[in-house]
Structure 1
């Protein structure tokens, strides 16, 4: 039974990774639209909620790096490196919080907002370090604009889509919450 669960989770993690690689094509490889809609964030957050923090962390870290190597977007340095830490945080925090939350919409929204804030904070900190190492200018205004203002459409999409999808998947019994699958 445990081996079946591990195989199932590994297959689902691969599915979330594949979705994370393909979903950004809706932005037609235009960086400004991709930064606005944040399409890679959705499968990583779903992975955390459905499979738990460790899987969410791994899928979140690998997705932007593999996408950069495979498709050239996002650019590896500085974007994909910074995004790897951001998305890993999304996957980890959403997975941890899914194990502690009730199975209701209010808890889903609270955990999603905390996950999104934690990921953006990590993105800002890693960006400050990476930009300093490559000798490029990073400002907290850039952090605020990139992480929040420019990303408003993606944030709204995530706030609408993620809780509804997770709640429907739980309710339908298609997947069990990460904390029930152990």
Structure 2
């Protein structure tokens, strides 16, 4: 069983990447709304989106499936489109989310093609790539916040708020660690 089949496949055509990015942006705008409505209906409140991180799923998936350009475009556009259509995320968070999600999508797309030894099971291979993208996105977020605080004097965001977001979003990270490798392993099997 080869786990490098994804890394040997060429990137999809520009048309497929563009279509994938469009679909992923739609999903990244719709999923948080669905989660907020479900959270309110189930009594969890509107904060369920910050806990389960539904906007991250389509961004990471499109990067892994369609490559760095689709991932970057989705990550950069999703928070802006969501804010324009729904008013969420809050205006002060939009630039930071654009940076974080764009890096998630870009790095996920770049890691998509990294060869992994055949001895590594496919789900672990995808988990490693996912973790790489998540770490890169959080580092970019911390750097953006540090610049905003030190250079621009922005006091609405702090580096401590990133840690609080990680802790709050831990259930969403766990969901991603389970769901994304399962989806990507299924794609690997289907692509054979």
Contact 1:35 / 1:150 at 8 angstroms: preserved in 2? yes
Whether 1:126 and 2:144 are equivalent positions in the alignment is yes
- Quick one: distance in 2 between partners of 1:137 and 1:95? 31
The number of residue pairs the alignment matches comes to 169
What is the Cα deviation at residue 110 of structure 1?
A: 0.8
- Quick one: distance in 2 between partners of 1:155 and 1:13? 22
Whether 1:89 and 2:103 are equivalent positions in the alignment is yes
What is the Cα deviation at residue 94 of structure 1?
A: 0.7
Q: What residue in structure 2 maps to residue 6 of structure 1?
A: 14
* 38-47 vs 96-105, greater mean Cα deviation: 96-105
Task: Choose 1 or 2 for highest CA Rg.
Answer: 2
- Pair 1:135–1:168, CA change in 2 (3 A): same
What 5-or-longer segments of structure 1 have no aligned partner? Answer: 177-182
* 151-160 vs 94-103, greater mean Cα deviation: 94-103
Regions of 4+ moved over 4 Å: none
- Pair 1:80–1:31, CA change in 2 (3 A): farther
What is the Cα deviation at residue 128 of structure 1?
A: 2.7
Whether 1:136 and 2:150 are equivalent positions in the alignment is no
- Quick one: distance in 2 between partners of 1:128 and 1:31? 28
1:95-110 alignment, distance < 5 Å: 95-102=109-116, 104-110=122-128
What 5-or-longer segments of structure 2 have no aligned partner? Answer: 1-11, 38-44
Q: 1:145 aligned to 140, 150, 164, which one?
A: 164
